[in-house]
Amino acid sequence: MIEKIRFTKMHGCGNDYIYVNTMEYEVADPQSAAIAWSDRHKGIGSDGLVLIGKSPVPEADYTMHIYNADGSEAMMCGNASRCIGKYLYERGLTTKTEIRLLTLSGVKTLQLHIINNKVESVTVDMLEPAFEDDNQFLANRGVSKGVFVSMGNPHYVIFTDNVDQVGETGRVLEVHPAFPQRCNIEFARIEADGNIRTRVWERGSGITQACGTGACATAVAAAYTGKAGRKSNIVMDGGTLSIEWRESDNHVYMTGPAEFVFDGEIEISKLQTK
Q: Give yes or no: residues 119 and 139 share one domain.
A: no
Q: Give yes or no: residues 32 and 80 share one domain.
A: yes
Distance CA 249, CA 112 (A): 20
For 226-254, what is each residue's pLDDT tens digit?
999 999 999 999 999 999 999 999 999 99
Q: Report whether pLDDT(139) > 90.
A: no
What's 110's domain CATH number?
A: 3.10.310.10
Among residues 71, 97, 60, the alpha carbon closest in space to that of 204 is found at 71
Q: Report whether pLDDT(154) > 50.
A: yes
Distance CA 262, CA 167 (A): 29
For 73-120, what is each residue's pLDDT tens digit?
999 999 999 999 999 999 999 999 999 999 999 999 999 999 999 999
Q: Give yes or no: residues 26 and 73 share one domain.
A: yes
Q: Give yes or no: residues 158 and 48 share one domain.
A: no
Distance CA 194, CA 40 (A): 35
Q: Give yes or no: residues 94 and 144 share one domain.
A: no
Q: Give yes or no: residues 6 and 61 share one domain.
A: yes
Please report which confidence band the pLDDT of residue 269 belongs to, taking 50, 70 and 90 as the band edges. Answer: low
Contacting residues for 236 by C-beta, under 8 A, at least 6 apart: 13, 14, 198, 199, 200, 209, 210, 211, 214, 215
Instruction: Work out the angle between the directed axes of helices 212-224 and 78-90 (0-180°, nearest 10).
Output: 130
pLDDT value of residue 271? 38
- Residues of the chain with pLDDT > 90: what percent? 86
pLDDT value of residue 131? 75
Q: Give yes or no: residues 64 and 164 share one domain.
A: no
Q: Which residues are catalytic?
A: 77, 211
Q: Give yes or no: residues 146 and 245 share one domain.
A: yes
Q: Give yes or no: residues 36 and 142 share one domain.
A: no
3-state class of 218 per DSSP?
A: helix
Q: Give yes or no: residues 158 and 97 share one domain.
A: no
Round to the nearest angstrom and report the end-to-end CA distance of the chain: 13
Among residues 55, 78, 75, the alpha carbon closest in space to that of 67 is found at 75
pLDDT value of residue 274? 39
Q: Give yes or no: residues 53 and 145 share one domain.
A: no
Q: Give yes or no: residues 6 and 122 share one domain.
A: yes
Which residues span the domain enclosing 145?
132-249
pLDDT value of residue 178? 84
Q: Report whether pLDDT(182) > 90.
A: yes
Higher pLDDT, 194 or 138: 194
pTM of this prediction? 0.89
What's the whole-number average pLDDT of the chain? 92
Domain count, the chain: 2
